[in-house]
Structure 1
Amino acid sequence: MEALRESYLFSPPFAAMNDPMEAYYETGGPGDRIVNAMFAPAGLKVDIMYEMLSDMINRFALVSFSETYENLPMWAYYGSNFAGMCLEFDTADLMIGDFQGEKLRPVTYARNALPSLTVADMGAQHLEEAVIARITRKRSEWAHEKEWRFVTGQVGPKHFLDDALRRVFLGPRVKPEHAARVCEAMDRRPVEVLQGEIRGFELVFRSIKPARPLGECERVGIGKFDPVEDLFAEAELKQFLTAPFEALLEECRRTASRPNMEALAGIDLAGSDKHAIYFWTTYKLRSGRE
């Protein structure tokens, strides 16, 4: 419940996952003998490079998602035997918080592991993708999970914007008191809560708490927007826009009303040929970080 209230997802190490083959990779190749011969005068071996690479990979952590909330086996083993919950996110908004700069990757499924990482993979342009390809690969038996994942640089909580979370699905076996606690925690959030029910051979969900309009939500940031100060290029903006200027003002007000919006720090035309509008915005997370 703390993670739900404080708007974060915990990023655990790969070793904590339920799949013992998670993030499987090997290092070394037939060309290592040649590299070792080149390193010999300096008293070095290629194993040192592989150790450094392994140390880096072993520090990685992850946050996993699925494409659907209707996967029944996943409700059984990830959703506390249908008594837990499933969170639905807008992934574009999710990347504004602590996931900013991270890439959301689809997991690939196959019968075999990829070849060992070798010195040839350690070029600056190739190493990242070579490593990511291996730590986002699972055996084909897991394909029903339809997993996507963020690979993060360290273990720990990753905070997100309140409105990046769109819906909370509660399992059909959730205890009434737990459902009430979730609804209470999400009361002043733009988040809908739905309760699962079994109808014959179907799992269906009904809404038990609607999403609050943004203007009624608990604020995290102050939501500063001053049209006079922030729209300092008003004349250029009006000339650029094909829509009424009032539509831009309304979008600015809507953006400022988002719970985590701290301030709209400026709106102007971008690029040397001024072909696009940019919004300079600051958001505040529940961790206090902006």
Structure 2
Amino acid sequence: MRVYKFYPAKWGLEALSKRRLKVSPIDELNDPFEYLSLDLGEKSVRAWAKEFRKIVTEDNGIISFSSNWSQPLMWAHYADSHKGVALGFEIPERLLFKIDYVENRIKPTMDVDHSRASMKILVQKLLRTKHSEWSYEKEFRLVRPLKNCIREGNNFFTDFNETTPLKEVILGARYQTSHAEQLSSELKSEGISFQTARAEFKGFRMTTQKSAGLQKQL
């Protein structure tokens, strides 16, 4: 499955030059409701949810991708207002968590404390659920145990590999050439394709710039 990671230019170039992706500990994600999509009206549920989130977050990190690079909000929010890049990876769908977007928080079933099956269903829902206002992201997640990641200070990384190979680089509509000719040449020799994004002429999405003279360079 082709999925995309958006970066400001500086961090996108670093990811490309070092052939690696940043893994985000769950506590550092930009949504305070991460893994807390449960209805917390009951005090007992709040206690359970707090413990659940602690267990999930302390050992795992995630890499967030989008299934769609043409969404202009993704470029605006995650690629420095279209001045960054989107990196396209081919990842087996079985390795990815597809995020479900909902209007209301999840209510646990009455038997959740006594049924392992119900508890398993609830946990899976919590791992995959965000509020509908995030739906423009069309998010898929790759979970990585932090113990298996490369650690530099407080940051975690995982290398590009055969399971998650980089396939394409899309330069934003406002990308400014960084004169990384050697890196560009190396990537092209590895079979990585390049394209430039532009705004549609008739719609409100981003699309591929087909004019050879308007192609941007890494």
Same fold (TM over 0.5): yes
Q: Is the 8 A contact 1:5 1:185 kept in 2?
A: no
Q: Which residue of 2 aligns with 1:72?
A: 72
Whole-angstrom distance in 2 between the partners of 1:193 and 1:86 = 10
Corresponding residue for residue 113 of structure 2: 119
Residue 90 in structure 1 maps to residue 58 in structure 2: no
Change in Cα spacing, 1:205 to 1:22, as seen in structure 2 (3 Å) is farther
Bigger drift between 105-114 and 56-65 goes to 56-65
Where 1:80 maps in the other structure, the secondary structure is coil
Alpha-carbon spacing, 1:54–1:106, altered in 2? closer, same or farther (3 Å): closer
Q: Whose relative contact order is higher, 1 or 2, with alpha carbons under 8 Å and at least 6 apart?
A: 2
Aligned to 2:153: none
How far the C-alpha of 1:199 sits from its partner, in A, is 6.1
In the TM superposition, what is the alpha-carbon distance from 1:182 to its structure 2 partner? 5.2
Distance 2:135 2:167 in 1: 25
Assess, with a 3 A threshold, how the Cα gap between structure 1 residues 8 and 127 changes in structure 2: closer, same or farther. Answer: farther
Question: 1:1-290, aligned counterparts within 5 Å?
Answer: 1-25=13-37, 53-59=52-58, 60-92=60-92, 103-116=95-108, 119-120=113-114, 123=116, 127-154=119-146, 156-161=156-161, 164-177=165-178, 180=181, 183-198=184-199, 200=201, 203-206=207-210
Structure 1 residue 160: Cα displacement: 2.8
Q: Take 1:141 and 1:72, find their aligned partners in 2: how far apart are those partners?
A: 15
TM-score by length of 2: 0.67
**C-alpha deviation, 1:58, in angstroms:** 2.0
SS of aligned partner of 1:186: helix
Q: Secondary structure at the match of 1:115?
A: coil
1:14 to partner: Cα distance: 2.2
The count of corresponding residues between Structure 1 and Structure 2 is 183
Distance in 2 between residues matched to 1:23 and 1:57, nearest whole Å: 8
Identity of aligned residues (%): 23
TM-score of the two chains, using structure 1 as the length reference: 0.52
> Do the aligned partners of residues 137 and 179 (structure 1) sit closer, same or farther apart at CA in structure 2, a change above 3 Å counting?
farther
Point out the more displaced range, 70-79 or 5-14: 5-14
- How far apart are residue 184 of structure 1 and its match? 4.2
Verify the 8 A CA contact 1:28 1:116 in the aligned structure 2: no
Shift of 1:200: 4.0
Q: What residue identity is the alignment partner of 1:76?
A: A
- Taking only aligned residues, the RMSD between alpha carbons, in angstroms, comes to 3.4
Verify the 8 A CA contact 2:83 2:172 in the aligned structure 1: yes
Provide, for residues 218-258 of structure 1, a one-character-per-residue CA deviation record: whole Å limited to 9, x for no partner: xxxxxxxxxxxxxxxxxxxxxxxxxxxxxxxxxxxxxxxxx
Which digits, 9 at most, give the CA deviation of each residue in 1:30-80, with x for residues without a partner?
8x7xxxxxxxxxxxxxx7x87754431122321111111111111111111
Q: Is the 8 A contact 1:107 1:137 kept in 2?
A: yes
Q: Which residue identity lines up with residue 55 of structure 1 in the other structure?
A: K
Distance, in Å, in 2 between the alignment partners of 1:23 and 1:138 is: 8
SS of the residue corresponding to residue 64 of structure 2 reads strand
Q: Which runs of 5+ in 2 are unaligned?
A: 1-12, 150-155
Cα separation, 1, equivalents of 2:80 and 2:40? 41
CA shift in 2, pair 1:28/1:193, >3 Å: closer
Residue pair 2:169, 2:194 contacting (<8 A) in 1 also: yes
Q: Is the 8 A contact 1:12 1:63 kept in 2?
A: yes
Residue 25 of structure 1: how far off its partner (Å): 4.6
Answer yes or no: is the 8 Å Cα contact 1:108–1:138 preserved in 2: yes
Distance 1:180 1:133 in 2: 45
Matching residue's letter, 1:165: L
Q: Which amino acid aligns with 1:84?
A: G
